Amino acid sequence: MTDTHTPKIVILDGYTLNPGDLSWEALEALGTVAIHNRTPYEQVAERIGDADIVLTNKTRIDAAILEQCPNIRYIGVLATGYDVVDVETAQQRHIIVTNIPTYGTNSVAQMVVAQLLSFCHRVEHHSAAVKEGRWSQAPDWCFWDYPQIELDGKTMGVIGFGRIGHQVGRIASVLGMNVQAFDSNQRDINDVPGFRWVDDVRELFQTSDVISLNCPLTPETAGIINRDNLQLMKPTALLLNCSRGGLVVDDDLADALNAGRIAGAGLDVLSTEPPDADNPLLSAKNILITPHIAWATREARQRLMTMAVENLQAFLDETPQNVVSS
């Protein structure tokens, strides 16, 4: 790529990152930019055309697309996970693929705790009950439909103690919880009082009052929330998943919730997104499901936007960063 070349940039699915509250201006300063809010797979090759720079969030770029679009030199994934790109084929074609590894740590950890506190106090439910007049009609000066839960002294078990898991642990500790974690990459943890590593994930399932999944989806972690491990959990325990939907066997979790084998589950991700209408978790008891929004605070999306521009600028400067294709 010479100095006189003006990069032709195509964004395949920009709406999720920027529904209108951010600016593409910094990206537009790097080349000519075509922005598509969404792109169905059958239109991907056509929209990429002769572009050399492609940005995608969840729109698939597989070997067939790469074959039809020989000008591509760079694919920037607007997310941490990059399984939407055939990285092996991209590598064979000398295409640089990058991701955004760190933008959402605080926002995702915040959602984990929001799900947890929702179970502790059922704030929205009780607020709705007040607005319906139930407090006005109550025979006592207060009422509640669900048990109120204090977290102090309870145990938070975190599966996957990377950046997000670590932040979840820090917040849980501030709430007075004991924190334990299972992770293949153990290291010294100095900012979570009383923290301990658990070497056997079965022990974590057995001894935690709350379990937060913050691990990547790998062959080792796929389906880790299954019938056997759910049976190890306390009947009063809560499960939280703001990581990857494939960590959960949907039928097994739905069965456990409906049978009361665990007290509840808070999920921000599902195995198929958007979910099929017959997903058993949609009708399960004691479950909170949010539509994969833990990452989506404006602050996190702005960081993502900034890092995407920085990644592309680094590539244009021939010093690529956050490369996942090598």
Catalytic residues: 244, 273, 292
Token reading at 103: 């933008």
- Decide if 229 contacts 135 (C-beta within 8 A): no
3-state secondary structure 40-106: CHHHHHHHHCCCCEEEECCCCECHHHHHHCCCCCEEEECCCCCCCECHHHHHHCCCEEECCCCCCHH
Q: Is 313 exposed, middle or buried (0-12, 13-18, 19+ CB in 10 A)?
A: middle
Token reading at 143: 């009422």
Q: How far apart are CA 110 and CA 192, in angstroms?
A: 17
Q: How far apart are CA 47 and CA 68, in angstroms?
A: 11
In the chain, the N- to C-terminal Cα span, in Å, equals 20
Q: How far apart are CA 35 and CA 33, in angstroms?
A: 6
